[in-house]
Amino acid sequence: MGLDQLIKRCKKKNAVAQEQLYRLYSSKLFSICLKYSSDYASAEDTLQDSFITIFDKITQYKNKGSFEGWIKRITINTALQKYRKQKVFDIINEQQIEEVDVEVNEEEISLDYLLKIIQQLPDRYRLVFTLYVLDGYSHKEVAEMLEISVGTSKSNLARARNILKEKLETTNYEPYVRPIEGRR
């Protein structure tokens, strides 16, 4: 059965079709949830909340544009909504903070370790970092999504980068190092 047929059946609240859709997309959406969550359990909760919203609003999907893009947007919004309610963003002086580049040798460090240190960032920094760096949104879009100013978005990104740079420079990440081809 094609995706269009599966979506049609989900619109009719068919439980078997909903389960198939869940199986089809849960791993992709879970990886998004992990990026926006501080831990695994929170990511699982966000995934479940996302699917509840997806199944609740699936009748609003009009087969225009990418279905995967539509459900990813719902998942990101679900994750962000948790933090909007908590008011994790401080009103700060929008003075310029020196931006730093975080250089990572991707051949030596695992993505699991990078995800782990990103998850350790304070919520306000992790959300801006994830939206801007990992998902490619502009500072204007980040500011709108998080209901903050563009200056706060830029400031939080700079602080996130500083924290990540410090962690990468000071942490012994030897246990997380990927084996390099040809070395044993």
Beta carbons of 180 and 105 less than 8 angstroms apart: no
Could you say which of 44, 63, 86 is where a domain stops?
A: 86
Q: Rounded distance, CA 54 to CA 85, Å?
A: 20
Is the domain of 111 the same as that of 70? no
CA of 46: how far to CAs of 5, 50, 136, in Å? Answer: 26, 6, 21
Task: Please provide the average confidence, as pLDDT, over all residues in the chain.
Answer: 83
Is the domain of 114 the same as that of 161? yes
Q: Which domain CATH number covers 159?
A: 1.10.10.10
Could you say which of 86, 115, 134 is where a domain stops?
A: 86
Quick: pLDDT tens for 143-174.
999 989 999 999 999 999 999 988 888 765 55
Residues of the chain with pLDDT under 70: 85-109, 171-184
Q: Rounded distance, CA 52 to CA 60, Å?
A: 14
Is the domain of 56 the same as that of 117? no
Could you say which of 68, 86, 104 is where a domain stops?
A: 86
Is the domain of 94 the same as that of 132? yes
Is the domain of 114 the same as that of 57? no
Is the domain of 56 the same as that of 115? no
Radius of gyration of the chain, Cα coordinates, nearest whole angstrom: 19
User: How many Cα atoms within 13 Å fall on the side-chain side of residue 44?
Assistant: 3
